[in-house]
A and B are shown apart, each in its own frame.
Chain A
Amino acid sequence: MNNPLRALYFGLLIRPVVYLFLGMNVRNREKLPTTGPVILVANHNSHLDTMVLMSLLPLKQLPITRPVAAMDYFMKNKALAWFASRIIGIIPLQRKVRAEQGKHPLDGCFQALEKNNILILFPEGSRGQPEKLSGFKSGIAHLAERFPQVPVVPVFMHGLGKSLPKGEALLVPFICDIFVGDALHWTGNRTSFLQTLDASMEELAAKGTFPAWD
């Protein structure tokens, strides 16, 4: 993903917006990876989630940083598809699997991890209700099983669902809270891995006290 437009977009537009317009309060930033292969796992509240995580990682690693996103959403039309794949640099994920095609829905992720990329994954699947954690889907467990040596770093984010919730186009700045957890590894089976990940996420969420928003 060595696209100069992409570097300009993230370096000159997204970073200033994230750092100055939004603002972040990052706890345990030192636990964030600086190189791949690694899977960054976060809760999903807003389109801003990807932008913030991309801004937290070193700009130098931008070419190998790839967010995983739903194909059906971003491939709706040509312009959006171009933007998503060339500028954001997503790895498209087919949410509805068609077995007859003989392709694994996570093929894109497999290839990226084989190339030592940094993967950004939102295992909740969709943005859902703003600022509410919903259960993780099992895709992340497949990835961890196939790449047991790749660390999985959990990140809990709060506040971006207030700034730009699902279905809204107006960005209203709030400082977002970010909690980075210890890297996790494959535990030997999917259920226990997902439980470990869930527990780690809940633990991170419990570290913050957030003002009421209702």
Chain B
Amino acid sequence: MKIMLLDTPPVVLWFLAGLYLILIAASIAIRIIRPKMDEPEYRELYLRVRSWWIMITIFSLALVLSRRASLVFFALVSFLALKEYFSIIPTRRADRRVLFWAYLCIPIQYLFAAQGRYGMFLIFIPVYAFLLIPLRMITIGETKDYLRAISTIHWGLMTTVFSISHVAFLLVLSEHNTEIVGAGLVLYLAFLTQFNDVAQFIWGKTLGKRKIIPKVSPNKTWEGFLGGVATTTLLGGLLGPFLTPMSWPMALAAGAIIGVGGFIGDVTISALKRDLEIKDTGNMLPGHGGILDRIDSLTYTAPLFFHFIFFFYCR
């Protein structure tokens, strides 16, 4: 395996260094405001920041180490997310082997991504998994709740494997356009998606009045949504020219797509949780909840941003 650290474009390293500056600032900030908070509130915040340290460190290592390491990292994210999903939804005893097939889609999908086989990457889950997984289910023969089972399994695959694998495909886009730095696109997408979550939260907390989608997510407001999208759009426009081949007007558009898409991804997983009557999808990431809680927005922003880039820069 070729170590890429020395080959990593300087802009990527500078950006990662910036992320660590933010982390250090956050760690100092929560200690400064500690006296104003009660203990459980501080504990939650502390865990949240600590989990960020761990997540960003693993993410940076994966990105800097080698392209293969990055691909394995995102495949692992898909696996953990799909497993979390299968663990919180109702499943049928008869479907153990069907679920196993669903898990098998992960290495295949990421292999297509690693090889840069755009066509197979795009159709493998929406076409082949869609056609073959029902076949596996039918050979087992359990028809009670068949529709529920087959739809929940496929939705899970689309959300946690198909969508997330678009982040991985960004890494090989440099084969389509030599101006593209794969890791730069991934950083742009991942950072803005997470930033958008925070921005929407802060705008909503400070200015939020009008509820935007009370039945699904009672704490979300129009002010939070619009403020968040505006901030993410601006920051997107600012970062785009450094990390991506986009000029600033295009980067503004990409930022807006991430802002709006992130919101929809977020509330989609909220709706799922509300239906299942659970607060968090898991407890893998202390202070955040489960991995699906963390990548909810990414399930929308990844394919949307990917196709924006592919359409305009990979022809």
Q: Is the pairing of A and B real?
A: yes
Interface of A is mostly: loop
Q: A170: which of B84, B100, B278, B284 is its contact (CB, 8 Å)?
A: B100
Jot down 5 A-B pairs with beta carbons below 8 A, ordered by A. A170-B97, A172-B96, A211-B89, A211-B91, A211-B276
Does B83 interact with chain A (Cβ within 8 Å)? yes
A187–chain B nearest beta-carbon distance, Å: 34
Chain A residues within CB distance 8 Å of chain B: 23, 25, 130, 159, 162, 165, 168, 170, 172-175, 209, 211-214
Q: Nearest CB to that of B281 among chain A residues?
A: A175
Known contacts A174-B87, A211-B88, A212-B90; A23 and B100 CB within 8 A of each other: no
The answer to whether B103 touches A172, judged by C-beta atoms less than 8 angstroms apart, is: yes
For A174, what are the chain B residues with a Cβ–Cβ distance below 8 Å?
Answer: 83, 86-87
The answer to whether B97 and A213 touch across the interface, beta carbons within 8 angstroms, is: no
B80 cross-chain contacts in A, Cβ below 8 A? 23
Q: Does B107 contact A (CB under 8 A)?
A: no
Cβ of B305 to closest chain A Cβ, rounded Å: 29
Whether A172 contacts B276 by the Cβ 8 Å rule is no
User: Is B96 touching A214 in the complex (CB atoms < 8 A)?
Assistant: no
**In whole Å, how far is B244's beta carbon from the nearest beta carbon of chain A?**
33
* Docked CA distance A173–B97 (Å): 11
Contact B92 A213 (CB under 8 A): yes
- CB of B93 within 8 A of CB of A213, answer yes
Residues of B close to A170: CB separation below 8 A? 96-97, 100
Docked complex Cα distance between A173 and B80 (Å):
10
A39 to B277, CA, bound (A): 35
Q: Count the A-B residue pairs with Cβ separation under 8 angstroms: how many?
A: 49
Report chain A residues within 8 Å CB of B283: 25
What is the CB-to-nearest-CB distance from B166 to chain A, in angstroms, rounded to a whole number?
23
B245 at the A/B interface (Cβ < 8 Å)? Answer: no
A173 touches B84 (CB 8 A): no
In the complex, given contacts A23-B87, A170-B100, A172-B103, what are 13 additional A-B residue pairs having Cβ atoms less than 8 angstroms apart?
Answer: A23-B284, A130-B93, A162-B91, A168-B96, A172-B96, A172-B99, A172-B100, A173-B86, A175-B83, A175-B282, A211-B91, A212-B91, A214-B93
B97–A159 CB distance below 8 A: no
A156 CB → nearest B CB, Å: 16
Separation of A175 and B284 alpha carbons in the complex (Å): 10
In Å, the complex CA distance between A175 and B91 comes to: 13
- Cβ-closest chain A residue relative to B95: A172
Question: Which B residues lie within 8 Å of A162 (CB)?
Answer: 91, 93, 96
Residues of A near B88 (CB, < 8 A) are 211
Separation of A168 and B83 alpha carbons in the complex (Å):
19
Residue on B nearest A174 in the bound complex, by CB: B87
B33 shortest CB reach to chain A, Å: 28
Whole-angstrom distance between the Cβ of A48 and the nearest chain B Cβ: 14
Let me know if A23 and B83 touch, CB within 8 A.
yes
- A172-B96, A174-B87 as given contacts; A25 in contact with B282, CB under 8 Å: yes
**Given the contacts A23-B284, A173-B103, A211 and B90 also touching, CB distance less than 8 Å:** yes
Check A173–B96 contact: CB distance below 8 A: no
- Taken together as a complex, chains A and B put the C-alpha atoms of A130 and B93 apart, in Å, by 10
* Least distance between A11 CB and chain B CB atoms (Å): 21
Residues of B within 8 A of A168 (CB): 96
Which residues of A have CB within 8 Å of B90?
211-213
**CA separation between A172 and B87, bound complex, in Å?**
11
Digit string of B248-288 for contact with A (CB within 8 Å is 1, else 0)? 00000000000000000000000000001110001110000
* Cross-chain contact A159 with B87 (CB below 8 angstroms): yes
B87, B89, B277 — most chain A CB neighbours (10 Å): B87
Kindly report which residue of chain A lies nearest to residue B100, judged by CB atoms: A172
Query: Using Cβ atoms and an 8 Å threshold, which residues of chain B touch A213?
Result: 90-93
Q: How far is the CA of A25 from the CA of B280 in the complex (A)?
A: 12
| B92-144 with Cβ < 8 A to chain A | 92-93, 96-97, 99-100, 103
Q: Cβ of B83 and Cβ of A173 under 8 Å apart?
A: yes
- Nearest chain A CB to B80 CB, angstrom units: 7
Tell me, in angstroms, the Cα distance from A214 to B88 when the chains sit together.
14
Report the minimal beta-carbon distance from A17 to chain B, rounded to whole angstroms.
13
Tell me, in angstroms, the Cα distance from A107 to B304 when the chains sit together: 65
Distance between Cα atoms of A212 and B283 in the complex (Å): 20
Give chain B residues whose Cβ lies under 8 Å from the Cβ of A25. Answer: 282-283
